[in-house]
Amino acid sequence: MSFTVAIVGRPNVGKSTLFNRLVGKRLAIVSGQPGVTRDRRLGAARIGDLRFTVIDTAGLEDSDADSLTGRMREQTTRAVKDSDIVLFLVDARAGVTPLDGHFAGWLRKARKPVIVVANKCEGRIDPGVLADVFAFGLGEPTPLSAEHGEGMADLYEAIRAAAPREPAVGDASEPVEIDVSPDEPADPAAPVQLAIVGRPNVGKSTLINRILGEDRLLTGPEPGITRDAIAIEWSCRGRRLKLIDTAGLRRRSHVTEAVEKLSTADTLRAIRFAQVVVLVLDANDMLEKQDLAIARLVTDEGRALVIAANKWDSIKDKKAALAKLKDRLETSLPQLRGVAVVALSARTGQNLDRLLDAVLSAYETWNRRVATPDLNRWLAAAVEAHPPPLVQGRRIKLRYMAQIKTRPPTFALFGNQLAEMPDAYARYIVNGLRERFDLPGVPMRLHLRKGKNPYSGSAER
């Protein structure tokens, strides 16, 4: 049976570096700037034959409960409560501080096995630091260098001794991560990768908390609270979902700080490996330039999109606002004709069921496959109703069509002189496919290929 280990300590002692070392990949943002981690992040860790869940936490700071750092500490408190073992990191290079001593006393009251880890200890631990750590009353410290991987054997022995029971080899939960290729064939048992994106302070984390029914993610009035892309598994309508909260995306020219650049890269990566993306808008300021830029990015990556107009409870003339939003979509995002739009309130929970229905519907559409005979019957009728234009006195000839992949639906159109086909006619084909085969709101790809019908002879590729 598996167990859970929480990593805690004051800011900048190397918690996220150790987390990444234990999970075997860079899931958490690491920076020399203190206070980068704010939410708690879970991952599947492994040391030798030990398998366990590890929780990365925000740096422990003594502050008012209503402040941002106070809310961050509450997230850490929950991580300790949910864990079986606590790794308490101190910085062996900088030495023990009064803040370390303060939180050592706090951990003694938690009634959990605590392993003190002297991190950034490349070589032997300083005798003075050793004496200071012994004064915590939490046992002998384990020297470690999370950055270089030194001391992992000692950490293995310490965790093994403190583990509640012997874990079975291979008894590990799936890692909470986002780098699962969305272009693999759909597995009904695999979770749907659902990324929640948008500008800063539009209510992304609040929306996920409302969906989960608990304050799992840090929220507040301050813009830019979320920095890491945090993935959380959940079930809906009998379907597993992996909800991915992301940092707010600002215009590239406005992103100057190193940490925000890392957060932006993490968000872009979340979009790239998502399957469905919910773009959260502020209903009081919908579809501004940055919203459209994010929507186009999602489309370019080929992901299914659902638009959520949040803070709908604050809108007085809802009918006019919704009409304005749909008109703007029709004008600015014609390539996503029929995209689902859900007006909701993350604060009150209004229309959350409609949002989840739209997500599952978009995922199904994104995976839809159309039979080749149906495609070609439709193509013949479409060409007869609206023949392709003439090129230098010769008409473009469309021979046949096939769907070559899903996720997103991608079609190959074979014929002659296709390089001369006007964009307007290609849009006619795509829009006709979307309408006839019920493919609303998802990106579609149309590849033009020169060749002959393989059913009437060899094809020229």
Tens-digit pLDDT profile for residues 13-37: 888 889 989 988 776 655 545 545 5
- C-alpha 106/C-alpha 197 separation (Å) is 36
pLDDT reported for residue 170? 42
pLDDT at 413: 95
4, two tokens: 């859970």
Q: Which residue has the tokens 């880890």?
A: 117
How high is the pLDDT of residue 341?
Answer: 95
CATH of domain 372-456: 3.30.300.20
Q: Where are the beta strands (DSSP E) in 237-303?
A: 239-245, 276-282
How many other β-carbons are positioned within 10 Å of the β-carbon of residue 379?
A: 21
pLDDT tens, 256-283?
Answer: 455 556 667 778 888 988 999 999 999 9
- Mean pLDDT score of the chain, rounded to an integer? 82
Q: Where are the domains of the chain?
A: 4-162, 192-366, 372-456
Give tens-digit pLDDT for 358-396. 999 999 999 999 999 999 999 999 999 999 988 888 889
Which of 49 and 127 is assigned the larger pLDDT?
Answer: 49
Do 129 and 96 meet the contact criterion of CB atoms below 8 Å apart?
yes
* Same fold? 4-162, 372-456: no
**Domain at 192-366: CATH architecture:** 3-Layer(aba) Sandwich (3.40)
Asked whether 172 and 46 are in contact (CB, 8 A), the reply is yes
What's residue 159's pLDDT? 93
The CATH classification of domain 4-162, taken from the options 3.40.50.720, 3.40.50.1820, 3.40.50.300, 3.40.190.10: 3.40.50.300
Whole-number pLDDT of residue 141: 87
- CA proximity to 19, closest of 49, 42, 48: 42
pLDDT at 188: 64
Confidence of residue 297 (pLDDT cuts 50, 70, 90): very high
| Residue 196 to residue 277: CA distance in whole angstroms | 6
The Cα angle at residue 220 between residues 218 and 226, in degrees rounded to 5 = 45
Report whether pLDDT(176) > 50.
Answer: no
The SS3 call for residue 174 is coil
pLDDT tens for each residue of 333-364: 888 889 999 999 998 999 999 999 999 999 99
